[in-house]
Chains A and B, each alone.
Chain A
Amino acid sequence: AQSVTQLGSHVSVSEGALVLLRCNYSSSVPPYLFWYVQYPNQGLQLLLKYTSAATLVKGINGFEAEFKKSETSFHLTKPSAHMSDAAEYFCAVSDPAGGGNKLTFGTGTQLKVEL
């Protein structure tokens, strides 16, 4: 079964500092990988996704992630944090079982941005 592991349930950074949120995957086949963001009292929103076209994926709000097969990782980064980035971030892997795209999510990382 495919799964993802997010290291660090809480990450705190200063405004303007680098954001690094970690995700490692386990998959028996080439995976499709996603990062979603959840703002308070809202549903999840797609930040970016990896579909094997390019290993460095750029998403919305200045976020990007790099797929590294050798490390089975898909870490999310942003060069300079902004207060509005404070949210919970979820890594997910897709399993195309049954003809669709069943998503399995990690446990989430709460990002706090401090002045």
Chain B
Amino acid sequence: DAGVIQSPRHEVTEMGQEVTLRCKPISGHNSLFWYRQTMMRGLELLIYFNNNVPIDDSGMPEDRFSAKMPNASFSTLKIQPSEPRDSAVYFCASSFGQGSAEAFFGQGTRLTVV
């Protein structure tokens, strides 16, 4: 398997524009996570899906952020409108099973909002 695939790897956009980040989890995995990493706040869980259903979105910063998982092999994280403070590295991760299951991370998308 190619692992968790995220696209794009880098995104530079202007403030106010819509940004869509994409993630393809590892085939067969039933949990998917979106994390955001910044120097100031570290690694934050934004949202967590299990069997394509959002379980916990308490980490989503505000209504400008939305995430979907229309099927087991694809998820998107959308920011609309984007702001400079959204600049960060966004990671997608997937896992199979419960509790002790390892989460596999993608390479991340580095988002810069200017």
Contacts and interface: CB of A to CB of B under 8 A. Distances in A.
Interface of A: 32, 34, 42-46, 49, 51, 90, 94, 96-108
Q: Which 5 A-B pairs have the closest CB atoms?
A: A43-B105, A98-B55, A100-B31, A100-B50, A51-B100
A75 to B, nearest CB: 19
B106 A96 contact: no
Given A96-B98, A97-B55, A102-B56, A45 B50 contact: no
A100 B48 contact: yes
Given A102-B55, A108-B42, A96 B99 contact: yes
Contact of A105 (B43, B48, B55): B43
Contacts of A98: 48, 50, 55-56
Contact of B102 (A46, A90, A104, A105): A46
Size band of the interface chain B makes with A: 20 to 34
Contacts of A42: 107-108
B82 interface: no
Contacts of A101: 31, 95, 97-101, 103
Interface of B: 4, 30-31, 33, 35, 42-43, 45, 48, 50-51, 55-56, 91, 93, 95, 97-103, 105-108
A51 B100 CA distance: 6
B55 A108 contact: no
A32 B55 CA distance: 19
A32 to B, nearest CB: 4
A95 B33 CA distance: 13
Contact of A90 (B43, B50, B51, B56): B43
A99 B101 CA distance: 11
B30 A100 contact: yes
Nearest to A106: B42
B91 to A, nearest CB: 6
